Chains A and B, each alone.
Chain A
Amino acid sequence: MIVTSAYAQTAPAASETPAAPAGEVHTETGVAHEADHGSGAFPPFDSTHFSSQLIWLVITFGLFYLLMKKIIVPRVGGILEDRQGRIAADLEEASRLKAESDAAVETYEKELAAARSKANGIAEAARNDAKAKAAADRTAIEAELAAKLAAAETRIGEIKAKAFAEVGTIAEETATAIVDQLIGGKATGDDIKAAVAAAKTGA
């Protein structure tokens, strides 16, 4: 800025040099000068043109302002807003998806843990079942065996008792038969019975 204003100060002095050839041209442009009301004022300060400058500035700048206000500013603002909205929506979508995937991972892990504990439970239950069943089976078999054993023992006892009981009869019959053979006379049942009983107790 300072540089340009310095130039501006030197400019009129410097312009003296080309002023000589410019003088000739000046006479040519003199016609134009006169057409512009011939005022020799420095053109930017020439007040004869102020009214037309102002009216055209009002027309053009007014139109420009209206164009900006009604069309350009809403349009560019809309574009920027759309973009901002789109970016915000995309970010939101991304964070939503991330939350969703996080939740999915959490659910997956929870379900995995649940499944694992459930599997453990099932295995435990199966093991317990198997154990219980085995124990029950064993006791049942043991009871059965014990019952069979007891039955067998009672049968043996019965057979034994029966055999013992029959021993007397056989002995009596045998004794009767022997007596018959030996003496040819019939021994009375009672005598023999008594003898066998005596022998039994004696034996």
Chain B
Amino acid sequence: MANDPISQFQISKIVPIEIGGIDLSFTNASLFMVATVACASGFLYFATGQRGLIPGRAQSVAEMSYEFIANMLREGAGSHGMKFFPLVFSLFMFVLTANMLGLFPYFYTVTTQIIVTFALAILVIGTVIGYGFYKHGFQFLKVFVPSGIPGILLPLVVLIEVISFLSRPISLSVRLFANMLAGHITLKVFAGFVVSLAALGPIGIGGAILPLIMTVAITGLEFLVAFLQAYVFAVLTCMYLNDAVHPGGH
């Protein structure tokens, strides 16, 4: 593997597939998407296989993540928002597992691809818009008109609301992508220091201890970030879904 911190994001084809001039190759990123889904659903499937009245450790974890997201969604979007529970739960588990898997050395981090996080963000915003118009019709546009605003300010406020709404998929996707990307670059840079310093001889090996400590510390931090970003993604999804469920309720 190259010592350059960017090469870890390089996509390489494993099974080249091309249909109608469009590249649909199975790449290392695809492999880790499959791995993410396999790990997450495998864990949840086997952890809850016992259906124990008194849960074991694995079942406790599965139940905790279920209740964590259920409470988040209930608080964020009310009981009417619970119909989106499978979506929010899938998003959270997918992002969390992808982030966590990415922290293993030589593993590919799916969420460092802007197209992946952007697609997930568009899925969320698309659900909000689709459900909003389906359920409330043009009443959904109330989302851009906060109540209690004086008439003169209204056009300005509506403009700001529209811009803020349109920037949601961008902020949602860039936040996740940038956090994961930056974390992995940082890890790689510090790990690279260890190697380059150690190559300088005995003094260098002594000096390499500092970046090694940093690497270990940042790895810990990255585990936190991996969880936190999945959490933030899920929380924001709940907040956006609230707009779809209660368009007037700002």
Contacts and interface: CB of A to CB of B under 8 A. Distances in A.
Interface in A36-88: 36, 42-46, 48-58, 60-61, 63-65, 67-69, 71-73, 75-80, 82-83, 86
B39 to A, nearest CB: 10
A49 B18 CA distance: 12
A3 interface: yes
Contacts of A22: 2-4
Nearest to A71: B45
Interface in B60-109: 62-63, 66-67, 85-87, 89-90, 93-94
A18 B86 contact: no
A61 B33 contact: yes
B10 A36 contact: yes
B11 interface: yes
B36 A53 contact: no
Contacts of A80: 63, 66-67
Contacts of B2: 22, 25-26, 29
A68 B90 contact: yes
Contacts of B177: 44
Given A7-B186, A60-B37, A51 B23 contact: yes
B189 A60 contact: no
A11 B182 contact: yes
A42 B192 CA distance: 19
Interface of B is mostly: helix
A52 B27 contact: yes
B205 interface: no
A43 B10 CA distance: 5
Q: Which of B12, B27, B182 has the most CB of A within 10 A?
A: B182
Given A3-B221, A4-B221, A25-B4, A60 B36 contact: yes
Nearest to B186: A7
Contact of A57 (B12, B33, B86, B192): B33
Nearest to A21: B3
A8 B113 CA distance: 16
Counting chain B residues whose Cβ lies within 8 A of the other chain, the interface size class is 35 or more
B12 A35 contact: yes
B30 A61 contact: no
Given A36-B10, A53-B115, A15 B189 contact: yes
Kindly name the residue among B24, B55, B177 whose own CB sees the greatest number of chain A CB atoms within 10 A: B24
Contacts of A69: 86, 90
Given A61-B33, A80-B67, A86-B53, A44 B112 contact: yes
A53 B90 CA distance: 18
B32 to A, nearest CB: 9
Interface string A4-20: 11011001001101110
A57 B120 CA distance: 9
Contacts of A57: 33, 115-116, 119-120
B41 A64 contact: yes
Given A5-B182, A26-B2, A52-B24, A15 B192 contact: yes
Nearest to B112: A44
Contact of B5 (A11, A48, A52): A11
Contact of A64 (B17, B90, B189): B90
Contacts of B113: 44, 49, 53
8 contacts: A21-B196, A25-B3, A35-B13, A44-B115, A53-B115, A67-B45, A68-B86, A68-B93
Report, nearest first, the 6 A-B pairs whose CB atoms are least far apart: A8-B182, A56-B30, A7-B186, A69-B86, A43-B9, A60-B33
